[in-house]
């Protein structure tokens, strides 16, 4: 009841707005929703992108943080917002994992992937497979061997269930056919603290978080989960080149509701394509170690489908607590 009422009201509003939208777009400020708080990956991408989009669209672009439930609140908000192109979303791969996690938990998904249409992928960073420096594992091979010897005994730490750290390790374990024990925490900071404090021994975290600790010798980097080596870690191999056929990225993409008229989507796509090449945006992204890795809508759709399928498969294979 509480949820359907605003939806009905918003549909009415969108009908009224739809007439105006056919003539020209955009004629008023655009809301760019980030389902994550200021300082999170989605927000850090949205903030510098907004002024760049503003320059391309000639209308203000306002970043709105709709935070809660690991991204579910904001994503759900966008899925019921007016489909007039004035509510767009920047989010991370939780848009793929949340519906799948809802399904395996046996509840109705709060939103589904097919409610959204992808506009562009903005960036995609691999996670770094890291271990505590006191451990004897100097290579991925050594870690895998040890894990095979003691199944379900080595503790890995994540930023919480179904976060990128969890998914990266889960996919790695399924690819390497090993088992480790999961220690979930409440975020990237606590996860890093647990690893550096020696309460867990393995994790997979973002390059931005890993590199200062790595430079100070507080952790050892074994591999990255992407397709190619990173400039900042030239000696760190990818899991792929080590023979583990997997790729997991912490990516950020822009989405809109499926019902948004194609003409508007085309305008937005063109604007995003321009914005990611905007020199200010490129400079800001470099500072945050999140370089743009742009994919236009058609390629992003293909890539997103593949990525979601892979994550969904991995989630379905995670053992669920028995009733």
Partner 1 sequence: MRSLTVDQVVGSVFAAFSLLVLWETRGIPFGFLAEPGPGAMPTLLATALLACSIAVVVGGRSGKRAADVKWTEWRHAVGILGACAFIAFALERLGYRLTILVMLLVLVSIVEKKGWIAGIVFAACFSFATHYLFNTLLRVPLPQGPFGL
Partner 2 sequence: MVETLHSLANGFAVALSPEVLMYAFVGCLVGTLVGVLPGVGPLGGISLLLPVTYGLDATSALVLLAGIYYGAMYGGSTTSILMRIPGEAASVMTCIDGYAMTQKGRGGAALAIAAVGSFVAGTLSILGLMLLAPPLAEFALRFGPPENFALMVLGLLVLAYMSSGPITRSLSMAALGLLLGMVGMDTMTGLFRFDYGVSELGDGIGIVPVAVGLFGISEILLSAGRDSKAEIRAPRLRELLPTRQEWRASAAPIGRGTVLGFLIGIIPGPGHVISSFVSYSVERRLSRHPERFGHGAIEGVAGPESANNSATSGAFVPMLALGLPSGAVPAIMLAAMMIHGIAPGPLLMQQQPELFWAVIASMYVGNVVLLILNLPFVGIFVNILRIPYSYLYPALLAFATIGVYSVNSSVVDVWMMAVAGLAGYVLRKLDYEIAPIILGLVLAPMIELSFRQSLAMSAGSYSIFFTHPISAFMLLIGLTLLLLGMRSMFTRAAGPGALMGIEPAAGPGQKQP
Residue in 7, 12, 15, 69 binding partner 2, rule: CB under 8 A: 69
Residues 6+ apart with CB under 8 A from 147: 153, 154, 173, 176, 178, 179, 180
Q: What is the footprint of partner 2 within residues 288-307 (CB under 8 A)?
A: 288-289
| CA pair distance 195, 205, nearest whole angstrom | 11
39 scored as a contact of partner 2 (CB under 8 A): yes
Shortest Å distance, C-beta 18 to partner 2: 25
- The DSSP letter of residue 322 is P
**x-or-dash string of contact with partner 1, 263-302, rule CB under 8 A:** ----------------------------------------
322 scored as a contact of partner 1 (CB under 8 A): yes
Cβ closest to partner 1, residue 21 vs residue 219: 21
Residue in 8, 29, 38, 243 binding partner 2, rule: CB under 8 A: 38
Residue in 177, 215, 287, 323 binding partner 1, rule: CB under 8 A: 323
Residue 119 tokens, joined: 């506009």
* Stretch binding partner 1 (CB under 8 A), from 33-41, 256-264, 284-292, 315-323: 315-323
* Tokens 């593949």 -> residue: 306
Residue 126: φ, ψ to 5°:
-70, 160
Q: What is the footprint of partner 1 within residues 45-74 (CB under 8 A)?
A: 64
Residue in 6, 8, 151, 243 binding partner 1, rule: CB under 8 A: 6
321 scored as a contact of partner 1 (CB under 8 A): yes
Residue 205 tokens, joined: 């975290």
Residues 6+ apart with CB under 8 A from 208: 288, 289, 290
Query: Are 70 and 160 a contacting pair, CB within 8 Å?
Result: yes
215 scored as a contact of partner 2 (CB under 8 A): yes
Is the bond into 26 cis (omega within 30 degrees of 0)?
yes
User: Measured in whole angstroms, how far is the alpha carbon of residue 228 from the centre of its chain?
Assistant: 19
| CA pair distance 33, 46, nearest whole angstrom | 8
Cβ closest to partner 2, residue 172 vs residue 201: 201
Q: Tell me if residue 98 falls in helix, strand or coil.
A: helix
Site residues, partner 2 (CB under 8 A):
2-3, 37-40, 44, 47-48, 63-70, 72-73, 76, 101, 105, 107-108, 110, 152-153, 155, 160-162, 181-187, 189-190, 192-194, 196-200, 208, 211-213, 215-216, 218, 284, 286-289, 320-321
């Amino acid at each position: 009841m509480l949820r359907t009422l605003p939806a009905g009201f918003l549909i009415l509003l969108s009908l009224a707005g739809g007439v105006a939208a056919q003539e020209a777009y955009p004629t008023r400020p655009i809301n760019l929703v980030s389902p994550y708080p200021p300082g999170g990956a989605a927000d850090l991408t949205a903030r510098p992108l907004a002024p760049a989009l503003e320059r391309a669209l000639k209308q203000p672009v306002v970043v709105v943080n709709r935070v809660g439930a690991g991204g579910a609140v904001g994503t759900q908000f966008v899925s019921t917002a007016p489909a007039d192109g004035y509510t767009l979303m920047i989010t991370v791969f939780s848009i793929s994992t949340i519906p799948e996690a809802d399904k395996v938990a046996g509840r109705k998904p709060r939103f589904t992937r097919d409610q959204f249409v992808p506009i562009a992928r903005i960036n995609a960073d691999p996670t770094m497979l890291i271990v505590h420096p006191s451990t004897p594992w100097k290579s991925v091979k050594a870690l895998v061997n040890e894990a095979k010897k003691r199944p379900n005994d080595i503790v890995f730490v994540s930023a919480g269930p179904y976060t990128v750290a969890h998914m990266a390790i889960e996919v790695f374990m399924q690819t390497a056919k090993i088992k480790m024990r999961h220690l979930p925490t409440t975020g990237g900071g606590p996860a890093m603290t647990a690893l550096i404090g020696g309460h867990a021994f393995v994790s997979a975290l973002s390059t931005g978080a890993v590199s200062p600790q790595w430079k100070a010798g507080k952790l050892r980097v074994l591999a990255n989960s992407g397709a190619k080596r990173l400039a900042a870690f030239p000696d760190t191999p990818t899991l792929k080149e080590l023979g583990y056929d997997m790729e997991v990225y912490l990516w950020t993409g822009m989405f809109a509701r499926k019902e948004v008229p194609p003409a508007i989507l085309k305008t937005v796509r063109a604007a995003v394509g321009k914005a990611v090449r905007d020199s200010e945006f490129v400079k800001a992204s470099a500072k945050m170690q999140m370089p743009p890795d742009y994919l236009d809508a058609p390629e992003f759709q293909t890539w997103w489908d593949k990525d979601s399928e892979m994550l969904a498969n991995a989630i379905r294979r995670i053992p669920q607590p028995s009733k």
